Amino acid sequence: MLTDVSVKMLDICRRRLAGMTSLRAEALAFATFSGTEDCFRPDAFDTCYGTAVLHHILDVRRLLGQIHRLLQPGGRAFFMEPNLRFHRALTATLAAILADWAHDGTLPREDAIPMVCWMAEVHCNAVNSGELDVLADREDKHLFVAEMFEAMADAAGFGMAAALPCGPDPTGENTIKVYMGQCGISSATTARLLKAWPAAQRAWFGPLEPRDQSPSYLLWLAKSPR
């Protein structure tokens, strides 16, 4: 069973999977499903997996309860989701570098606006974490803190929950390079940013615990056996 709230995304998935000869198309079912409708029987699935799903869901607590209900005893759920502490360090490092450039009068005006807009977007999700009224109308609604997510999973009834580092990037350099590419920042400004990054990042990335030194967590949940 493959689900998404977007019919368009399901069509893309269906076309891609059709070209994979190792899969039997008749064994797959596609459904538009947000994760909150009661349209599956309890204990219907042994595994649930999602990539970049939970941070789009407003009421994650409710969804975790639904997933727990749908999993068989001993079932597992896996999600890959963004790490709040890592992204806070990322935006703080970028802000420090841009402040230095502005002070020196060398801020690249054409690139500054998209960089600041990106920082503001991430910062809004970080500072309003858990404020559902603020996040309701945003596409990206959450950044996650490992122990807070684990506590939510425990409250939902899971016997085990772990937030594991996914794609370690201890200084944030690789991640900021990817984000700047997505924002359309010029190669010259990106190269200058990466030159300044090693010194600037130490104050923010240095204190991070090992499992927070990744842009995403692999969230691993297990329902207790009966």
Q: What is the pLDDT of residues 149-159, one digit of tens each?
A: 999 999 999 99
**Strand pairing report for 216-222 and 160-166:** antiparallel
- pLDDT value at 17 more than 80: no
For residue range 160-185, what is the model confidence (pLDDT) as tens digits?
999 999 999 999 999 999 999 999 99
Q: Please, what sign has the CA dihedral across residues 199, 202, 204, 205?
A: positive
Tell me what pLDDT residue 40 has: 79
Answer whether 147's CB lies under 8 Å from 65's CB: no
Q: Nearest to residue 172, comparing CAs of 145, 187, 193, 146?
A: 193
Give residue 130's pLDDT band: very low, low, confident or very high (50, 70, 90). confident
Q: What is the pTM of this model?
A: 0.86
Q: What DSSP designation does 217 have?
A: E
Tell me what pLDDT residue 84 has: 96
Q: Nearest to residue 175, comparing CAs of 93, 66, 67, 64?
A: 93
- pLDDT value at 21 more than 80: no
Copy the structure tokens of residue 116.
């600041």
Q: What DSSP designation does 21 have?
A: T
Answer whether 169's CB lies under 8 Å from 204's CB: no
Q: Please, what sign has the CA dihedral across residues 30, 153, 63, 224?
A: positive
Answer whether 221's CB lies under 8 Å from 121's CB: no
Tell me what pLDDT residue 23 has: 62
| Alpha helix (H) residue ranges in 37-186 | 60-70, 84-104, 109-127, 132-135, 146-155, 173-182
Tell me what pLDDT residue 25 has: 56
